[in-house]
Amino acid sequence: MSRSLRVRQPRTADIRRLHEIFESALEPGQRRRAQAILLYAAGLSAVEIARLLEVHAHTIYADLHAFDIYGVTAVAQFINLCSAQILAEKLTIFAPFQNPSPAKT
């Protein structure tokens, strides 16, 4: 059983803009998010969208909630958020190598 989803339906202008965005060069995550929003506008549930796009349902819920909050710009924001998270992880991993302690003699 799928859970209740309280996300606004995309308006005609949103759908038009998503089609324009979809035609441009997108990262895979951005493309998936645009597809998810368009499929949601077509009347599919989040679980059905997840099956079609072969991703976890939670991913689709996150995409649709981002659309609900940010509108169509959620597609473009996807890559910025992911890049910032990846950068933070890399900085954490490489931090010990930045300032190595002097060798004890």
Q: Would the pTM of this model clear 0.85, i.e. be above it?
A: no
Which residue, chain included where needed, has tokens 């890049």? 83
- What are the φ/ψ torsions at residue 102 (nearest 5 degrees)? -65, 145
**Can you tell me the distance from the alpha carbon of 49 to that of 102, in angstroms, rounded to the nearest whole number?**
55
Higher pLDDT, 60 or 2: 60
Question: Residues of the chain with pLDDT > 90: what percent?
Answer: 39
**Can you tell me the distance from the alpha carbon of 46 to that of 5, in angstroms, rounded to the nearest whole number?**
8
The answer on pLDDT for 41 being more than 60 is yes
Work out the mean pLDDT of the chain and round it to a whole number. 80
pLDDT at position 24 is 81
The answer on pLDDT for 27 being more than 70 is yes
Higher pLDDT, 43 or 93: 43
Which distant-in-sequence residues (6+ apart) come within 8 Å of 85 by Cβ? Answer: none
Q: So what's the architecture of 12-97 in CATH?
A: Orthogonal Bundle (1.10)
Q: Where does the pLDDT of residue 1 fall: very low under 50, low under 70, confident under 90, or very high at 90 and above?
A: very low
